[in-house]
Amino acid sequence: MTTILSVRKNNDVIIAGDGQATLGQSVVMKTKTNKIRKLAKGSIIAGFAGTTADAIALIERLEEKLEKYPNQLIRACVELTKDWRMDKYLRKLEAVLIVANKEKTFILTGTGDVLEPDDGVVGIGSGGNYAMAAAKAMIDNDNLSIEEIAKRAMDIAADIDVYTNHNIILEKVK
């Protein structure tokens, strides 16, 4: 129950996430949670939706894969999702990840998906579709920076989705 958005425009990519952490369906536990992590010395960023501990465990596993397969983001992602789907322990983890570097953006799921969006704009979590639709509507506006697009799209999602707030964190790939 969150919103994570990735936007790719020109040679830049950014991941934005809201700060709301909920307990169950009715309690806001924290309003400034960071759901975005920098990996590989900032050359890769990952955002997560789902159970926090599960997502962090998956990001740690992704870091291990990136160390094993340096400069091979797609291979690291495929290896992670294979483990995630087949391993008895990992199979139960409930999260979805967006992972991006300068060249590629992927959505990773526990069902074995490693999906690359066609247009470089993708959202996950309860407000992901709202943020994604808003970003797609703004992406061709040359007067807006990638940061402005991501922030505005996340604000729109926060206005609509009760599990998304306006405490937006933005991380850009180096």
- pLDDT given at position 34: 93
pLDDT tens profile 33-90: 999 999 999 999 999 998 888 888 889 999 999 999 999 999 999 999 998 888 777 7
- pLDDT given at position 36: 97
Of 2, 3, 81, 105, catalytic: 2
- pLDDT given at position 163: 92
- Report how far residue 105's alpha carbon sits from residue 50's, in angstroms, rounded to the nearest whole number: 19
The answer to whether residue 2 is catalytic is yes
pTM (2 d.p.) = 0.94
pLDDT tens profile 124-150: 999 999 999 999 999 999 999 999 999
C-alpha radius of gyration, the chain, whole number: 15
- pLDDT given at position 99: 98
pLDDT over 90 (residue 3): yes
- Report how far residue 89's alpha carbon sits from residue 80's, in angstroms, rounded to the nearest whole number: 13
Helix axes of 146-160 and 128-138: crossing angle, nearest 10 degrees: 140
Domains of the chain are 4-172 (3.60.20.10)
Using DSSP's 3-state secondary structure scheme, residue 48 falls into strand
